[in-house]
Amino acid sequence: MEAPKQQDTSFTQPNILDEWFVPKKPNKDEAEAVVRPSVSYWKDAWYRLLKNKLAMIGLVSLILLVLMAAFGPIIAPDSAETTVLQNQNQPPSSEHWFGTDELGRDVFIRTWEGARISLFVGVMAALIDFIIGVAYGGIAGYKGGRTDHYMMRFVEILYGLPYLLVVILISVVLKPGLFSIIIALSITGWVGMARMVRGQVLQIKNYEFVLASQTFGTKTSRIIRKNLLPNTMGPIIVQMTLTVPSAIFAEAFLSFLGIGIQPPFASWGSMANDALPVILSGDWWRLFFPAFFISLTMFSFNVLGDGLQDALDPKLRR
Amino acid sequence: MATYLIKRFFAMIVTLWLIITLTFFLMHALPGSPFNDERNTSEAVQKNLIAHFNLDQPVSVQYIEYLKSIVQFDFGPSIKKSSQTVNDLLGRGFPVSFELGMVTLVVAIISGILLGIVAALKHNGVIDYLAMTIAVLGISVPNFVLATMLIQQVAVNWELLPVATWKSWKHMVLPTLALATGPMAIIARLTRSSMLEVLTQDYILTAKAKGLTPFKIVFKHALKNALLPVVTVLGALAAGILTGTFVIEKIFAIPGMGKYFVDSINNRDYPVIMGTTIFYSALLIFLLFLVDVAYGILDPRIKLHKKEGR
Amino acid sequence: MEKILQVKNLHVSFRTYGGEVKAVRGVTFDLHKGETIAIVGESGCGKSVTAKSIMGLIPNPPGKITDGKILFKGKDLAKLPDRELRKIRGADISMIFQDPMTALNPTLTIGEQIMEGIIQHHKIARSNARKKALEILELVGIPSPKSRLKQYPHQFSGGMRQRIVIALALICEPEVMIADEPTTALDVTIQAQILDLFRDIQKKTGVSIILITHDLGVVAQVADRVAVMYGGKIIETGTKREIFYEPQHPYTKGLLNSVPRIDIEDAELVPIAGTPPDLFAPPAGCPFVARCGYAMEVCDRIYPTQTLKGNEHQVYCWLQDARAKTSFATKR
């Protein structure tokens, strides 16, 4: 090859050595090298969640709330839930950390007993939504066609029902109590989950990698286990995390209206309801503690759900 | 578009029928409901009930007659007060609740959208964090908690505004604030995230490449697209506000439908519970339908999707 | 020939969580009046970033022009404040994007989208803007433009939409038009029509075009000159003839060998093995060294100097160095 107009400036650069002009030793790995180490989806999501400060605050406060719900009543100085009439409406003190109510009951103890109920209702509602919703949505999405059409028409009609009104209606009819609330919450609550799962399944079903598995003759159960589930798990977890606070809110709402948890049991909602008549007289602790912990719990689940959503979104992977 | 609307209209009717039927049979299954119990009612009320619900007829006839009366917007008598009907209560209470609900909805939509836009435009800035902190708090604090805290601080401790009832605009401030904060937070978060998403779209780049001003890019090109997802949740938000009026009216002693409804629940005044539930369900289901129509008008692409029904 | 746009030693970086990505590392080229220059390279080579930098459309943050000049009509676009740049964008320099399905706003009529540029820049009345829009739609080959103005993007096919995108880039009669992969998202038959349209428009309006593409077929059809980019740098540039018939850089040769040819029987398609370099930590030497069949020790250490093969034909490769030839000659 001729070089007619070579304008080579390399001769003015003394640091280029002649012996460098030899073929490079073949280095096969280099050309095909993977530039960054691959991290599994869940590990990657976990690292990203750890970096999200707000979500971490939510996670830590949730752990503390669960611990307090379990052990709070035990560590209180006034251990028994006694009705001592001399102790009515005491402000917070070393003996009653959150004060007492009009029957002389310790608000600290009642707050953590309320926490048990709120958390139980929230988690149960989310679990039931999960079971029904995933099964229903999964079948509709996977079967597709006519089955999907009719299943989804039914869901659409249920979806149009005003959630809290139905919950109120059911609660009025059923004997008031913990399980009535959970049933009332679940009766239409799963619809959102079913819609989401069906959408995901429908989308993933048509991805090339699922079609590829099918052409290899992979069994349906294996496709569901290996392809569909891992890819829908992210949005499902997010949905469940966000179901918990809305169930907790609904329970508190019902209890506040007087059709939720019945005395002698207490929930944060019913405690706030009981505190309504006394806030004008300045007994702030009666309202403040249950209100604060409802808000904290809902806040924690909400920010954790948001964080999970960001962390599990494959589009945001870097 | 037309096919789509007809389909949606049909679904609306079915949903309505479902809630009416559900209400009827739930009340029937209930011990102590007007259908099964004769103890707690006066003779005059008793007569009204038998006449209105056809209690001397078989259940199937009762059901058909009940459907007929609902279609004619007749919800029957109240158990507790022999002289008044559910319609009387609705006529008295609903205008107040409607006023509270509408003011709340307007406040929530306007402030939520503005907050969302500002947060999206100052993405990751101080204003964004501030707006989103407000939004997360707004979602986390239940409206009845916010309401009671507002009373305690603003009305009792600072004595800035009246505590309760519904007389002047001053009486409206606290209930509206308590009721609007949650929906506002939801709208703000949704507007922000969809605005951020829209701002990364190619057509925004096209608009920038045309040399348009940032103002035009945001308000002409981005906002309409960003608000589409917001429109879809308006129905659910309206439902939230409506059920919210139950507790807010109870707390602030506002003589609205919500207060009557809560009272009727506590008194087990079943015709009122049934009537209100059906009336509010119908209202909300109709609102959802309107939202779908609005969506179809806002998004020119919807016409293409009529086959899939969205 | 008059140089209408000069890009000099352009550097663009993006700040990401993983560190600074040096997407463009010293790109220099001129655009002459009325010509089409094609910037060719595989994805991630920095060609789109170069194009967006000219328009000032690099999102900042995270992107930033860290060095270099973009000279247009005596102004350095790289240093112009956004307020000034806006007057040039769309009016003097316009841009066409890859995917016509997403480049148009779905909620505005196409008439509105075409007219708003000229209303913004030329401050003319809507009725005049409408007249102009009809003219331009005619030019880009939209049949019965009058009724089409009121329609929405989803009512057009992909090819038609790309014509509309071109129309809104042309409405202010710009001097430079940057087309970023304008045919990639289209069917092959539509591609040919759009490329014909480019040539036709250039003949009628004299607009200079910067064409960003990875498709050498597209280059062959419309380009006058070609710049080949790799790893954020231009590694070879020349007239279309020089690049296609006398490619010098091993990467350019590789690119040409990986395109199917029907003029040579039994021509074998040879893919270029490996992937482009990681621009988090760009190599000190030639970016192509890891995939180059002729790589030498020097290529690893120092970036090659420029070699002029003709008036326009420049190449950056150590194989052009006299010492390289002896070394490879003795080895083989």
- Residue A82 pLDDT more than 80? no
Least confident among B157-166, C96-105, C126-135:
B157-166
Domains of chain B in start order, with CATH, are 91-267 (1.10.3720.10)
The answer to whether the CB atoms of A35 and C297 lie below 8 A apart is: no
Domains and CATH numbers, chain C: 3-92+172-320 (3.40.50.300)
What six digits make up the tokens of B16? 């309505």
Chain B: residue whose CA lies nearest to C122: B211
Q: Tell me whether residues C106 and B304 touch, CB distance under 8 A.
A: no
Instruction: Please indicate if any CB of chain A lies within 8 Å of the CB of B163.
Output: yes
A197–chain C nearest CA distance, Å: 27
Residues of B in contact with C95 (CB under 8 A): 209
Instruction: Give the distance from residue B132's alpha carbon to the nearest chain C alpha carbon, in angstroms.
Output: 21
Tell me, what's the pLDDT at A9? 47
- pLDDT (tens digit per residue) in C125-143: 899 989 989 988 888 888 8
Q: How many CB pairs under 8 A join A and B?
A: 115
Neighbouring chains to C with at least 3 Cβ pairs closer than 8 Å: A, B
| Mutation site, B144, B189, B246, B284, interface A, largest A CB count within 10 A | B144
Contact yes or no for B212 and C152 at CB 8 A: no
Nearest-CB residue to A10 (from C275, C278, C305): C305
C81 reaches B (C-beta below 8 A): no
Whether residue A264 is preceded by a cis peptide bond, meaning omega within 30 degrees of 0, is yes
Q: Do A6 and C308 touch (CB under 8 A)?
A: yes
DSSP state of B157: I
Min Cα distance C299 → chain A (Å) is: 8
Where does the pLDDT of residue A7 fall: very low under 50, low under 70, confident under 90, or very high at 90 and above? very low
Is the pLDDT reported for residue A81 higher than 60? Answer: no
- Which residues in chain B are closer than 8 Å to C55, comparing Cβ atoms? 209
What is the average pLDDT across B211-224?
88
- Which range is most confident: B103-107, B231-235, B247-251, C212-216? B103-107
How high is the pLDDT of residue B107? 94
Q: How far is B188 from chain A (nearest CA, A)?
A: 15
| Residue pLDDT, tens place only, C55-75 | 888 887 788 888 888 998 888
A208 in contact with chain C, both atoms CB, cutoff 8 A? no
Q: Which chain C residue is nearest to residue A48, measuring alpha carbons?
A: C17
**Predicted pLDDT of residue C226:** 92
pLDDT at residue A11 is higher than 70: no
pLDDT for residue B263: 83
pLDDT band at residue C212 using 50, 70 and 90 as cut-offs: very high
Give tens-digit pLDDT for B57-87: 777 888 888 888 888 888 777 776 667 788 8
Separation of alpha carbons B81 and B283, rounded Å: 26
Contacts of B224 in chain C (CB under 8 A): 107-108
Chain C residues whose beta carbon lies within 8 Å of the beta carbon of residue A7 = 306-308
Query: What distance in Å separates residue C276's CA from the closest CA in chain A?
Result: 9
The conformational region for residue C46 under phi > 0 = left, psi -120 to 50 = alpha, else beta, is left
Rounded-to-integer distance, Cα A139 and Cα A141, Å: 5
Distance from CA of C48 to the nearest CA of B (A): 13
Out of A3, A4, A20, closest to residue C298 by CB: A20
Test mutation, C242, C313, C321, C325, chain A, max A CBs within 10 A: C321
For strand C176-180 and strand C93-96, is the pairing parallel, antiparallel, or unpaired?
parallel
Is residue A242 over pLDDT 50?
Answer: yes
**Percent of all residues in chain C with a pLDDT value above 90, rounded to a whole number:** 13
pLDDT band at A2 (very low <50, low <70, confident <90, very high): very low
Q: What is the mean pLDDT of residues B135-161?
A: 82
Q: Does B193 contact chain A (CB < 8 Å)?
A: no
pLDDT in tens, B249-303: 888 888 888 888 888 887 777 788 888 888 888 888 888 888 888 887 777 776 5
**Amino acid B110: pLDDT:** 94
Pairwise CA distance, residues B67 & A318, whole Å: 58
Mutate to test the interface with B, among C96, C107, C154 (most CBs of B within 10 A): C107
Q: Is the pLDDT of residue C145 over 80?
A: yes
What does the mean pLDDT of chain B come to?
Answer: 81
Q: Do A6 and C322 touch (CB under 8 A)?
A: yes
In this complex, is the C-beta atom of B13 within 8 Å of any C-beta atom belonging to chain A?
no
Q: Closest approach of chain A CAs to the CA of B132, in angstroms? A: 11
Tokens representing B133 are: 């902190």
Q: How far is A26 from chain B (nearest CA, A)?
A: 43
Determine whether the interchain pair A298/B139 forms a contact, defined as Cβ–Cβ distance below 8 Å: yes
Chain A residues within an 8 Å CB radius of C312: none
pLDDT at residue B33 is higher than 90: no
Average pLDDT over residues A271-276: 80
For CA atoms A262, A267, A269, A275, give the dihedral sign. positive
Residue C213, pLDDT above cutoff 70: yes
Cβ of A21 and C321 within 8 Å? yes
Q: How far is A14 from chain C (nearest CA, A)?
A: 12
Q: Which residue has the higher pLDDT, A212 or B139?
A: B139
Q: What's the rounded mean pLDDT across residues B204-219?
A: 89
Closest CB to C296: pick one of A15, A22, A31.
A22
Using a CB–CB cut-off of 8 Å, the residues of A that contact B are 54, 153, 156-157, 160-166, 168-170, 172-173, 245, 249, 252-253, 256-259, 272, 275-276, 279-280, 282, 284, 287, 291, 294-296, 298-299, 302-303, 306
Work out the minimum CA distance from B139 to partner chain A, whole angstroms. Answer: 8
ipTM reported for the complex, 2 dp: 0.82
Mean residue pLDDT of chain A comes to 77
The reported pLDDT for the residue numbered A37 is 55
B1, B210, B213: which to substitute to probe chain C, counting the most C Cβ within 10 Å? B210
Please report, for chain A, the start and end positions of each structural domain, with discontinuous segments joined by +. Answer: 44-79+96-312
Q: What is the structure's pLDDT at B81? A: 67
The residue of chain B nearest to residue C85, with distances taken between CA atoms, is B211
Contact yes or no for B209 and C95 at CB 8 A? yes
Select, from the ranges A181-195, B23-37, C270-284, the one with the highest average predicted confidence (pLDDT): A181-195
Higher pLDDT: C240 or C290? It is: C240
CATH of A44-79+96-312, one of 1.10.3720.10, 3.40.50.970, 3.90.1070.10, 1.10.20.60: 1.10.3720.10
Q: What is the mean pLDDT of residues C156-173?
A: 88
Confidence class for position B18, pLDDT limits 50, 70, 90 = confident
Distance (Å, whole) CA A34 – CA A66: 44
Question: What pLDDT score was predicted for residue B32?
Answer: 62
pLDDT at C77 over 80: yes
Helices A284-312 and A268-275 cross at an angle (nearest 10°) of 150
Return the HEC string of chain C: CCEEEEEEEEEEEEEECCEEEEEEEEEEEEEECCCEEEEECCCCCCHHHHHHHHHCCCCCCCEEEEEEEEEECCEECCCCCHHHHHHHECCCEEEECCCCCCCCCCCCCHHHHHHHHHHHHHCCCHHHHHHHHHHHHHHCCCCCHHHHCCCCHHHCCHHHHHHHHHHHHHCCCCCEEEEECCCCCCCHHHHHHHHHHHHHHHHHHCCEEEEEECCHHHHHHHCCEEEEEECCEEEEEEEHHHHHHCCCCHHHHHHHHCCCCCCCCCCCCCCCCCCCCCCCCCCCCCCCHHHCCCCEHHHHHCCCCEEECCCCCEEECHHHCHHHHHHHHHHC
- pLDDT tens string C172-197: 888 999 998 888 877 888 888 888 88
Q: What does the pLDDT look like over A41-75, one tens digit per residue?
A: 777 778 888 888 888 898 999 999 998 888 877 77
B206 to chain C, any CB pair closer than 8 A? The answer is yes
pLDDT, tens digit, 9 for 90 and up, residues C273-325 = 777 777 777 778 888 888 887 888 888 888 888 888 888 898 888 888 777 76
